[in-house]
Structure 1
């Protein structure tokens, strides 16, 4: 029988079985079951797979299991942006659960490099089954209910053995907000007579779709960055347990089959992950997965796709914690039933594969309990090995100009349990510590790779994300350990004045404090030149961008002004200084023409079909959660009826804006010409050039003589790899920044790290004053880029330019300053565009 026919037959048989005896289809091999424990079907009122289950019902079912059984307990480890509770169901034998505290203590000794327990077989293995990080990959969360029911209710000897020898933590849905967005979509479009046509609306979600969380972030990229509450909650839980095995269940394209590890080879030349992890352990577990899937006729593949290079996946982060992380990818029905190249794929079929792999994971972990414990113990002991002579023993870091950004950086280190010390005014992270590999992840950079085609990012050095000055140390005196950043940033006291207050624009939170004051009706100016002036704290130097609050210019009493300024200072813990005279010691006075009035921005952003939801979500998240500024999100189909005049600034992120016709583009042009600011990011910058919204250009490749071009013949099988090498999955580069330009205000160094994951290369402006940031002569810092892209495209290009249009301007980012909510180092560029953009004029050459 041919492959397609066999696969088609299997699916038809599966669908037939499901329609006759739905519960037996999943659970028959795990009987008998305790009749006092309700199955998911009995609790929900419909068979698993008949429709998509809302998250609140999943939580209710898990609560019921914990209520009825002494094999289960439940805890809340966090909540989502939309206030859905994040839960973890712990399942084991009654005896194990009664002694869970002592078992946890014994288990954690294996992750302490200073201890050497050898009771490997006496302690249950700890397994974390993680499901549903992408909301529109729903099969795994349905399988989670079946797995939980089986472990709680089955009296099968196989299952009882698992309960005795394992503690299983079930996280049913890591992304509840996205799941419910998708669940509501497919359930409301589900017909009684199921429609399998891929073009049916059920299989094609509307923008922004359910993959991402409330702010449209991909939570599977957030384990390292920990920007969202779902991730920070999970990390706090994770570091209390250090499970030996962690699963990461996903879905992929409908016409695929099933994937389990091993993945394609790790891209890094010298990966910090032990080779034993991604070769020996993955191959060992793969035999269990293959056997189980073979037994039901499910097809699968390994090794040829996905990679674990980026350390922030759910399938890679645990690998850096002494555990084994496992990726599973199931072909998706994207609804309840869908036509494929091999017949029809049903929702129940996808659920069963995830259920089978869940139990294969438990089986493999229990069988290899001693091996896994020894591996985790050796992993953490290896972090204490003596370093070679002249090695880096520690990293010193800190930004004296922006203590708030330094604090946020330390917060990130602490959530990953990285030990941080303070010696005088410097912060120090030693290399040899239990989280040694996370220290490497944060500070080390790479430029050599075994593979150049990456599933995702090839650079992740967090020190660069935060634009955090750091240096390597060959010897070190640690000082006092920092365990909390509370009260770390101490700002000067503020006293009332009838003259002026000065807000230091160097502070990361200054933009939020400024917007708070503007929202209370306070009028401000920004210093377009630096100065030194006497404050109540003594003589102080103030940088470009310093915000002045002139008391006598307000429509409020001096008492009211003081209260608003004081509230802003306390709310955001920013440095605000009191001055009683406008006469400077050096530089401009407070009444200078270089003190420019700054109006409160009113911001809108285009969203909807064709627009990058991730980039749009990053902008929304930044303004909403850090500046607390409302942003109007205008769907593209509402463009015609939108009155643009009410906004001072419009943001366009990457996307396909080809649905804007010439009249609509003309409307946008006129709005800009009236004196407003358009901010374009990455793909939108290219669109603005292509549509001649601005008189700028993209970087042109060197001219070649077509008669001299000799095309090399290459094997067809290598085409995708060869073409993929020219894509830029995500790397870090250095730019030279004009810190005298309003977009560069608040920076002290003219060298800045930026993140690039696109093919947008802006040619430097022909106007001498319009190229704000340009890649340096040797720009590569971290990550993979092909030599052709580096030499011919990136090096000649600009990262940030401003182009005038009438009385207004277009601020064009080639790179994303807000990438994944984690680029604190370049957020300031975006803040400056929002608050100072209206004061940017482009001088003529």
Structure 2
């Protein structure tokens, strides 16, 4: 039966709450808040209060706080279903996990569908949190029999505000910028949100790119609850440009090959029902464009790769819309309009789920049965070599634990054919009993494939985001992908033997320099005022060998330390799970002695980051998060609007984040920057910031201009209709490159040749004529991900990482951003080298 629920609960002239208050204490949002929903922004705490009110007053609802944001705001879920289902909510949850295979036992025949609706992951797309309140009310109010019938065979989970910090940043700014009545003119300041905007969370991360990588607190907390439920449908509510019509599924190509026909077909089923309500009200909408299903870390793709029907819904509005804005056709778009559209699409989705609950559950069960017994994909076993860094293996396996991807060890040693991630070739490889394996034969088979597939195939090359993310490359691990199924014995993560209890008074302590954990240790030691050296060359002492970059902490350098020198160092190392080596002498058996000029004193750098107008807020956030959350090292952020007045002599390192802000730094200031570098300063330019330096006086960086496209060969029809396809030839959204490194230079300490880098654009730079070309992309360096053929040619034999000496200081050119989205873990040591190891080189 098709319900015309709009006629019952939707009044287009306003949100009128019609119910008998004598019979129920349940209040509408407008009654509870004291203003008409849609007339102003509802603050975070009032959203949470209303959720609690519904849970207190309705036996069909239950609220659960699942954590706090970085700024301390509650993150909360609301569970809604029939009273009967609410009484057996835990039974429904566990039965579904048995269906998946995440807990033992046989699932019963219960056909209750689980729908999860997520609102406001982007803080400045705020209408969805308002819609969440009205959606909850419509599901719970007593005089709506249609929704009650839906809830007989569905459980609806609603997260009303995924990003409270970003939303609060936006709504507070708007309140401060607008008058008593909203100004619908686009020119009004309330439609021009200032930097950094409210889209992102506290650290300026896009939470809708973090579902898979879990670098942010909010993402990790949410995923724990998601894994406890494993919903059959997940909808992520967004906003787009204010002039755009509403968007709902089916999604656009490219689809990842792992997406099933059923998942695509049911998106269409849901879309048809959504369209019927939008048609009834003459609302404009579109489907099948822009928003593809390939990158795995979105709120639609991540659920899809976990067996759900994952979808993005996009309402026109965004930060530009405010409370009201005049559209190009002359209509005024209001917050009321926006929340109504989101409410209708959300309820229509629940209706479709209820009408198809049996089929949803059946197909979901089949999805996981196939995952466990007949997994799709070319490769059946993924190998992580045990001789990799233990810290790196632990980090990867911890990520797999969060996603419930199982792993273990090989049952025996054998020689097999496999894809070698290092060489990019299929060859004979050796698998030992100590190597870690991830089998495709497991419940999370599809997600394992997504993480480890060497070269994911695009059905269509026009895509919305990066196209490569393979985790061996991201973590810097050697391993293989095998077409053969190997038996996997369950095994715990590898553990390091840490025993820093050296007695006596050794001449020096040595610490390795291999990965991010070593950078954390260095940061902790520096904060404790421990004096440290590092070796520029390989050496051997006391029967052991040590690579370049090894940290050397001598007793002599710390003779003035006022605390217990040995106890402090050992305690810090134990806290960071890093093993020190105590040596009795500074006389080495091979290489430079500890008093050599090749053993450099490591100054504690004072670091500044340029932020503000023109800089990429995401890029700024990546650096900020690295310092604040990953290595716990002090960072001073300098805004562009007062940067001209800053005394750079107070800093040793200045970081230029990605962005386009050359107009914020005048030529006089550039002269000051050059003088500061000459006097010993270090300038680090990340990604697009290098474009500002290229060709500028005093800087050796030169951009390679790509050949101009000859449009004369394109037909008149193709020159417009096919322009996107033509332009894609010059495009690189994000692909993996094998970078040839110079491991003798301090910027590359801790790295073996090669390093695998995530290239995010097609910007090509020439080798430095006066400086050090430390990381270069040679011919055939492309390893994974889509890149246009012209862009691929342009990037051959180009600079990726370079250092230019300038007087007593240096300029570090990082054409690729090693901190991108905080998930390219193998690049973080590279950035640590740029901070701590260069010392003017």
- TM-score (normalizing by structure 2): 0.92
Checking the alignment, whether the CA contact within 8 Å between 1:525 and 1:547 is kept in structure 2 is yes
Of 327, 334, 343, the residue aligned with 2:321 is 334
Alpha-carbon offset, residue 717 of structure 1: 2.2
Aligned residue number for residue 393 of structure 2: 406
Alpha-carbon offset, residue 447 of structure 1: 6.3
- Give 3-state SS (helix, strand or coil) of 2:128's partner: helix
In the alignment, the residues of structure 1 paired with residue 255 and residue 374 of structure 2 have an alpha-carbon distance, to the nearest angstrom, of: 27
In the alignment, the residues of structure 1 paired with residue 38 and residue 173 of structure 2 have an alpha-carbon distance, to the nearest angstrom, of: 15
Shift of the 830–365 alpha-carbon distance from structure 1 to 2, 3 Å rule, reads same
In the alignment, the residues of structure 2 paired with residue 116 and residue 500 of structure 1 have an alpha-carbon distance, to the nearest angstrom, of: 56
- Provide the aligned length of Structure 1 versus Structure 2: 803
Aligned residue number for residue 204 of structure 1: 192
Aligned residue number for residue 499 of structure 1: 507
Aligned residue number for residue 105 of structure 1: 94
Shift of the 353–805 alpha-carbon distance from structure 1 to 2, 3 Å rule, reads same
Alpha-carbon offset, residue 740 of structure 1: 1.0
Shift of the 256–725 alpha-carbon distance from structure 1 to 2, 3 Å rule, reads farther
Shift of the 186–445 alpha-carbon distance from structure 1 to 2, 3 Å rule, reads same
Of 682, 691, 697, the residue aligned with 2:696 is 691
In the alignment, the residues of structure 2 paired with residue 340 and residue 578 of structure 1 have an alpha-carbon distance, to the nearest angstrom, of: 70
Checking the alignment, whether the CA contact within 8 Å between 1:33 and 1:154 is kept in structure 2 is no
Aligned residue number for residue 489 of structure 2: 479
Of 121, 126, 132, the residue aligned with 1:133 is 121
Aligned residue number for residue 586 of structure 2: 582
Aligned residue number for residue 524 of structure 1: 532
Alpha-carbon offset, residue 702 of structure 1: 6.1
Pairing of 1:379-390 with structure 2 (within 5 A):
379-386=367-374
Deviations 1:573-627 (A, max 9, x none): 1121111111222222222221000100111011111101101100110111111
Matched, 1:798 2:799: yes
Aligned residue number for residue 304 of structure 1: 289
Aligned residue number for residue 5 of structure 2: none
In the alignment, the residues of structure 2 paired with residue 491 and residue 826 of structure 1 have an alpha-carbon distance, to the nearest angstrom, of: 25
Aligned residue number for residue 833 of structure 1: 834
Alpha-carbon offset, residue 571 of structure 1: 2.2
In the alignment, the residues of structure 1 paired with residue 375 and residue 153 of structure 2 have an alpha-carbon distance, to the nearest angstrom, of: 37
Aligned residue number for residue 51 of structure 2: 62
Matched, 1:454 2:442: no
Shift of the 796–470 alpha-carbon distance from structure 1 to 2, 3 Å rule, reads same
- Give 3-state SS (helix, strand or coil) of 1:479's partner: strand
Of 162, 175, 185, the residue aligned with 1:187 is 175
Of 403, 406, 411, the residue aligned with 1:419 is 406
Deviations 1:161-214 (A, max 9, x none): 022121111100111111111111112222112201112121111111000001
Checking the alignment, whether the CA contact within 8 Å between 2:532 and 2:601 is kept in structure 1 is yes
Of 747, 757, 779, the residue aligned with 1:777 is 779
Question: Which structure 2 residue ranges, 5 or more long, are not aligned?
Answer: 1-9, 411-432
Of 358, 368, 378, the residue aligned with 1:370 is 358
Alpha-carbon offset, residue 308 of structure 1: 1.0
Of 267, 272, 277, the residue aligned with 1:282 is 267
In the alignment, the residues of structure 1 paired with residue 534 and residue 157 of structure 2 have an alpha-carbon distance, to the nearest angstrom, of: 53
Deviations 1:675-715 (A, max 9, x none): 110000111111111433402211244699x9x97455425
Matched, 1:659 2:655: no
Checking the alignment, whether the CA contact within 8 Å between 2:380 and 2:485 is kept in structure 1 is yes
Checking the alignment, whether the CA contact within 8 Å between 2:63 and 2:78 is kept in structure 1 is yes
Checking the alignment, whether the CA contact within 8 Å between 1:651 and 1:678 is kept in structure 2 is yes
Aligned residue number for residue 423 of structure 2: none
Alpha-carbon offset, residue 334 of structure 1: 2.5
In the alignment, the residues of structure 2 paired with residue 564 and residue 702 of structure 1 have an alpha-carbon distance, to the nearest angstrom, of: 59
Pairing of 1:148-163 with structure 2 (within 5 A):
148-163=136-151
Checking the alignment, whether the CA contact within 8 Å between 2:768 and 2:802 is kept in structure 1 is yes
Aligned residue number for residue 8 of structure 1: none
Matched, 1:613 2:613: no
Deviations 1:16-46 (A, max 9, x none): 977xx6322xx67x99996411111122111
Aligned residue number for residue 295 of structure 1: 280
In the alignment, the residues of structure 1 paired with residue 347 and residue 80 of structure 2 have an alpha-carbon distance, to the nearest angstrom, of: 13
Say which is worse superposed, 487-496 or 602-611, in terms of deviation: 487-496
- Give 3-state SS (helix, strand or coil) of 1:610's partner: coil
Deviations 1:39-79 (A, max 9, x none): 11122111111111111111111111112221111112222
Pairing of 1:338-357 with structure 2 (within 5 A):
338-342=325-329, 343-357=331-345
Alpha-carbon offset, residue 837 of structure 1: 2.3
Alpha-carbon offset, residue 734 of structure 1: 0.8
- Give 3-state SS (helix, strand or coil) of 2:326's partner: strand
Aligned residue number for residue 440 of structure 1: 449
Say which is worse superposed, 234-243 or 493-502, in terms of deviation: 493-502
Of 677, 680, 685, the residue aligned with 1:680 is 685
Superposition CA RMSD, Å: 2.4
Checking the alignment, whether the CA contact within 8 Å between 1:452 and 1:725 is kept in structure 2 is no
Aligned residue number for residue 421 of structure 2: none
- Give 3-state SS (helix, strand or coil) of 2:252's partner: coil
- Give 3-state SS (helix, strand or coil) of 2:620's partner: helix
Of 235, 252, 273, the residue aligned with 2:259 is 273
Checking the alignment, whether the CA contact within 8 Å between 1:420 and 1:428 is kept in structure 2 is yes
In the alignment, the residues of structure 2 paired with residue 133 and residue 675 of structure 1 have an alpha-carbon distance, to the nearest angstrom, of: 43
Shift of the 584–725 alpha-carbon distance from structure 1 to 2, 3 Å rule, reads same
Shift of the 579–637 alpha-carbon distance from structure 1 to 2, 3 Å rule, reads same
In the alignment, the residues of structure 2 paired with residue 243 and residue 64 of structure 1 have an alpha-carbon distance, to the nearest angstrom, of: 25
- Give 3-state SS (helix, strand or coil) of 2:702's partner: coil
Of 629, 636, 641, the residue aligned with 1:632 is 636
Shift of the 583–666 alpha-carbon distance from structure 1 to 2, 3 Å rule, reads same
- Give 3-state SS (helix, strand or coil) of 1:526's partner: strand
Shift of the 17–188 alpha-carbon distance from structure 1 to 2, 3 Å rule, reads farther
- Give 3-state SS (helix, strand or coil) of 2:464's partner: coil
Matched, 1:668 2:673: yes
In the alignment, the residues of structure 1 paired with residue 827 and residue 102 of structure 2 have an alpha-carbon distance, to the nearest angstrom, of: 38
Aligned residue number for residue 415 of structure 2: none
Matched, 1:176 2:170: no
